[in-house]
Amino acid sequence: MRETKSPFGILINYGAAKFTEAEGKAAFQILNTELKDQFLGLISGESVGYVWDLAPAELKISPSQSRRELLEAHRQFYTNALAKKWRDTFQTETGAMWDRLIPGQSTSSTSFAHSLTQWGVQLLGMETAAVMPMTGMRIAFTRGAARQFGGKFFYYHAPNFGDTATTFTKAQNFAGPDFFYHSRYGPTMGPSLSWYRKSYYLYYMSGASAIYLEQGHDQFFKPGPGEHPLQLNPLGRITEEFMNFAEKHPDRGTPYTPIAFLLDPAHGFEMTDYPQWPFEVSQIDRGDRALRELFGVAYYPGLVVEGEPAIADRQPFVSSAFGDVFDVLTATDVQSPKAKAQSPLSSYRAVVVGGRVEWSGDWIQKLTDYVRGGGTVLINAAQIKKVPESLLGVRLTNVTAEADSATCLSPGEDAQDLSGQLFRYEKV
């Protein structure tokens, strides 16, 4: 490390260092002095720091709590648990070291992306297994969180299909093949090589700052039958191809996302079936259903293909009608020092408010300034509590009605058929 000056991270998924007091303090010292500029952080795949064992006793949550209270309970739990974990590891007081944690969640990445960056995470990761729907939507959450709070995001690359992963040996054995499989694809065998390749390029062009390989060891092998030299396996050949591409095209540009979805900071939204309820215990409400439908429209036909037989490339890689033009932001009052210079809305031409949002006075002012400055805000009648009529230009009559069609009154809009299922609306 001293000679190469290469950046590095430390994976904490599968074990923990057992230092003596002297060793722990020395390790902490060198990571924060000599190797400080090289040390990216502690990579925590699929988890926020691997402190689950403390949760049953120390995570105090109940269904009666509000979403804001549940989010705060998680913040307190993770902060205290991480501080204990690193204190026990390095044998000295370290604090939670949020700035050195690199979480790469799969499920729940959308629930916690903005909270983690607000709490101090500077390099935010995400993992997407082959059957998780609408990868583009999940990137919009992670990329939006990184942009809002002045951080970066990375891709935690893991070729998983349900409970299985694409691999080319039963065990990594450089003396020769151990049950070499020339081609493995299916619901019990991991995703396809096509999925593996597409994921590289999608994340690179979406703005990811780094890519970490969960199965980094499974890039080379000695194939069989017979005796053959050590060589790249099919995964490794794809990795080499991608690395050559990235080296050839280092200036990829910046992803252009003119539209932002603005959610409550404690939305807890997760598109997959785990952990079933927001923050584990909060029941699904109208706001959650509204978010699902909103993102279903934004990434159409995502909700259509979601119900088809699960195929590695079909549900994740949705060629949405609008393309990759969205980021997700949250109406968080506390901004990171890097993000305080300007409103997070100023980078977007339009903002779509999603789900239930509890507005603070500061955010009402942000919306007002944004609209007065030429921005467009799309908001519905259920989201305008505390929003002044002077900004909206309309007032509620407290009368509801039902219809099965609508008319777009935007100037210059082409006539279109907006008929559909029966819906309820507020008269203004």
Q: What is the pLDDT of residue 298?
A: 97
Confidence tier at 131 by pLDDT (50, 70, 90): confident
Residues written for the chain: 428
For residues 41 and 9, the answer to whether their CB atoms sit within 8 Å is yes
CA 142, CA 124: separation in Å to the nearest integer?
A: 7
Which comes out higher in pLDDT, residue 11 or 222? Answer: 11
Average pLDDT over residues 5-9: 94
Q: Is the dihedral of CA 377, 381, 385, 389 positive or negative?
A: positive
Q: What is the pLDDT of residue 247?
A: 97
The share of the chain scoring above pLDDT 70, in percent, equals 92
Confidence tier at 178 by pLDDT (50, 70, 90): low
The angle at the Cα of 294, spanning 293 to 299, to the nearest 5 degrees, equals: 95
Of 95-104, 235-244, 271-280, least confident by mean pLDDT is 271-280
- Burial of residue 11 (number of CB atoms within 10 Å: 0-12, 13-18, 19+): middle
**Top-ranked range on mean pLDDT: pick from 70-79, 121-130, 272-281:** 70-79
Neighbours of 285 (CB within 10 A): 12
Average pLDDT over residues 315-336: 90
What does the DSSP assignment read for 237-297? HHHHHHHHHHHH----------EEEEE-TT----SSSSSSSGGGTPPP-HHHHHHHHHHHH
**What residue type is 129 in one-letter code?**
A
Task: Report which DSSP code applies to 92.
Answer: S
CA neighbor of 103 nearest in space, from 150, 155, 149:
155
Q: Is 48 helix (H, G, I), strand (E, B) or coil?
A: coil
| Biggest distance spanned by C-alpha atoms of the chain | 81
Q: Note the pTM of the prediction, 2 decimals.
A: 0.93
Q: What is the pLDDT of residue 186?
A: 47
The share of the chain scoring above pLDDT 90, in percent, equals 74
Q: What is the pLDDT of residue 190?
A: 76
Joined together, the tokens standing for residue 361 give: 């006075």
Confidence tier at 204 by pLDDT (50, 70, 90): very high
In the predicted structure, residue 372 carries a pLDDT above the cut 50:
yes
Mean pLDDT of the chain: 91
pLDDT in tens, 24-78: 999 999 999 999 999 999 999 999 999 999 999 999 999 999 999 999 999 999 9
For residues 145 and 112, the answer to whether their CB atoms sit within 8 Å is no
The angle at the Cα of 76, spanning 75 to 79, to the nearest 5 degrees, equals: 80
CA neighbor of 190 nearest in space, from 234, 154, 149:
234
CA 194, CA 339: separation in Å to the nearest integer?
A: 38
Distances (CA, A) of 238 to 6, 11, 159, 403: 23, 23, 13, 53
CA 78, CA 76: separation in Å to the nearest integer?
A: 6
Average pLDDT over residues 352-361: 97
Which comes out higher in pLDDT, residue 321 or 169? Answer: 321
CA neighbor of 359 nearest in space, from 381, 389, 334, 331:
331
Please list, residue by residue across 347-368, b when 16 or more beta carbons sit within 10 angstroms of its beta carbon and e when fewer do: ebeebbbbbbbebeeebeebbe
Task: Report which DSSP code applies to 331.
Answer: -
Q: What is the pLDDT of residue 223?
A: 78
